[in-house]
A and B are shown apart, each in its own frame.
Chain A
């Protein structure tokens, strides 16, 4: 079984070539080398001649499952390479009825944790780059669902979620908490990169694109930004697969996962442990209820 980056990359190219030549898939989505050493960007390959563009390295962070949404109403059959988090996103999208299993081929790739590209940009060339924040806490590096798989499963390096950062905020006083979030959300430029990259943010129309509806204006100020932050966190509550893409793409370094993890923590403690996207049979916590939910509103 191939296990090194080079071996897996080689196998990726072979599989892509095979799928495209046989016509089993009309397109393969993988990663190609970006402009900088610490960038690997998604690539859509339609011809077997182009498979050499495909790469597999420590910066293939971007979740490819979300691209499947764009092809749901076409005749294409799309193959994607998927890490553990990508397959969880895939399950979530299937659950949300945003993609169709019969129109896609998932090629699972066990992941050893991606490197933090933001840190890599700051460090000198050749220096040891730390693991990306979300990857540090990853408990599902192996694909949870796949049609084909490359490489052997890896042993997860993290067994339990670390909520110490959420607890640190919870321990602050109300005014300190507010000052903290205010300082974070005044940095936000409302580029919506977090929304666009998020596999849980898959609505056909987003309330933040409808400024005329009065929900949230296009003003970039602390109040509206915080509205945006809380609302988006609530919309992905129970559906967040903790891939940490939102934080990775944020140009202002807003700790978005701190917000998402708070919901995850509360859902776990109130409604029982839930892991989004592990399978397609467990409903999302906010899409159903239990009559025995905790009662606090009497």
Chain B
């Protein structure tokens, strides 16, 4: 399935399938997601998991960039405070994301689209539950239109027929093959 076809499906509200980006810490959440998989726990296929060495690797700019490029919801997940593989990484994550969550809300982004959660390697069911709930919530509020970089991402991908029609209606275009 190409990206364009996803966009086309996405734009019809009743068939809206959100794209959720999960930043998963290598040591806890990625293992938790893995456990959800090996435990055969079902969750919708809308999530894209991006593995990061630590949740504090997630620069808040990554999150804004994701929204710009057409993601409908972002989940940043890492080890519980105190469990960080690098001892203190997630404490920094907590400080930063407490602030950036509030800033995103201040910018007018629905807080339902952006979550931070602690999911340990033993919490496969929690991973399933968090992403399932998030997908349902984002589905209910519809596609993200805010912050989108429409210069680069085509929101309404025109069908081939539409492109042909628009070219034909443009009288300045000379058809060399005619």
Q: A234–B97 Cα gap in the complex (Å)?
A: 11
A 229-255 to B, binary, CB cutoff 8 A, 1 in contact else 0: 011011001000000000000000000
Q: Are A297's CB and B150's CB within 8 A?
A: no
Q: How far is the CA of A289 from the CA of B80 in the complex (A)?
A: 15
Contact with A along B90-132 (1 / 0, CB 8 A): 0110111111111101111110000111100000000000000
B149 in the interface (beta carbon within 8 A):
yes
CB–CB B98/A296 < 8 A:
yes
Contact sample, A vs B, 22 pairs, CB 8 Å cutoff = A170-B106, A174-B105, A174-B109, A176-B108, A177-B107, A178-B107, A178-B108, A181-B107, A221-B150, A221-B151, A223-B68, A223-B149, A227-B61, A230-B103, A231-B60, A234-B100, A259-B106, A263-B103, A266-B98, A286-B95, A289-B95, A295-B94
* Closest chain B CB from A116 CB (angstroms): 26
- Please determine whether B64 and A293 come into contact, CB atoms closer than 8 angstroms: no
Any B CB within 8 A of the CB of A157: no
In the assembled complex, how far is the CB of residue A244 from the closest CB belonging to chain B, in whole angstroms?
19
Q: Quick check: A175 and B108 within 8 Å, CB to CB?
A: yes
Q: Which of B95, B149, B150 has the most CB of A within 10 A?
A: B95
Bound CA span A230–B102, Å: 12
Partner of B94, one of A215, A285, A289: A289
Smallest CB gap from B94: residue in A: A293
CB of A289 within 8 A of CB of B102, answer no
Contact across chains for B94 and A262 when beta carbons are under 8 A apart = no
Q: Is B58 an interface residue, CB under 8 A from the partner?
A: no
Given contacts A223-B148, A267-B99, 19 further A-B contacts (CB under 8 A): A169-B106, A174-B110, A177-B108, A181-B107, A207-B61, A223-B68, A224-B149, A227-B64, A230-B60, A233-B103, A234-B60, A234-B100, A234-B103, A259-B103, A262-B103, A290-B91, A291-B81, A295-B81, A296-B98
The 10 closest A-B pairs by CB, nearest first: A178-B108, A177-B108, A289-B91, A223-B149, A297-B116, A174-B108, A266-B102, A289-B95, A262-B106, A178-B146
* A contacts with B, residue count (CB < 8 A): 41
* A165, chain B: closest CB distance, angstroms: 12
**Please, how many residues of chain B have a CB less than 8 angstroms from a CB on the other chain?**
37
Query: Which of B60, B97, B108 is most buried by chain A, counting CB atoms within 10 A of its CB?
Result: B108
| Cβ of B35 under 8 Å from chain A | no
Name the one of A170, A178, A262, A285 contacting B95, with C-beta atoms under 8 angstroms.
A285
Most A CB contacts (10 A, CB to CB) among B106, B146, B149 go to B106
Kindly state the separation between the CA atoms of A285 and B96 in the bound complex, as whole angstroms: 10
> With a CB–CB cut-off of 8 A, which chain B residues contact A177?
105-108
A178–chain B nearest beta-carbon distance, Å = 3
Q: Does A294 contact B (CB under 8 A)?
A: yes
Q: Are A179 and B108 in contact (CB under 8 A)?
A: yes
Instruction: Tell me how far the C-beta of A167 lies from the nearest C-beta in chain B, rounded to whole angstroms.
Output: 11
Residues in A whose Cβ lies below 8 Å from that of B95: 271, 285-286, 289, 293
Which of chain B's residues have a CB closer than 8 A to the CB of A298? 80, 117-118
Which has the most chain A C-beta neighbours within 10 Å: B88, B91, B94, B109? B94
Which residues of A lie under 8 Å from residue B147 when comparing CB positions?
Answer: 223, 226-227
| A35 on interface, CB distance cutoff 8 Å | no
Q: How far is the CA of A231 from the CA of B100 in the complex (A)?
A: 10
Q: Is B65 an interface residue (CB 8 A)?
A: yes
Taking the closest CB of chain A, its distance from the CB of B49, in whole angstroms, is 18
- In the assembled complex, the Cα of A291 lies from the Cα of B116 at a distance in Å of 17
Contacting residues, chain B, for A234 (C-beta < 8 A): 60-61, 99-100, 103
B92 surroundings in chain A (CB, below 8 A): 286, 289
A49 to B121 CA separation, bound complex (whole angstroms): 71
Residues of B within 8 Å of A174, CB to CB, are 105, 108-110
A262 partner, pick from B102, B110, B118, B146, beta carbons under 8 A: B102
Query: Nearest-CB distance from B55 to chain A (Å)?
Result: 9
Q: What's the nearest-Cβ distance from chain A to residue B57, in Å? A: 15
CA distance A290 to B95 in the complex (A): 9
A203 vs B130: C-alpha distance when bound (angstroms): 38
Complex Cα gap A200–B68 (Å): 26
Q: CA of A227 to CA of B65 in the docked complex: distance in angstroms? A: 8
Contacts of B149 in A (CB 8 A): 221, 223-224
Question: In the docked arrangement, what's the CA distance between A270 and B98, Å?
Answer: 8
- 1/0 per residue, CB under 8 A from A, across B5-25: the answer is 000000000000000000000
Contact of A231 among B61, B101, B118 (CB under 8 A): B61
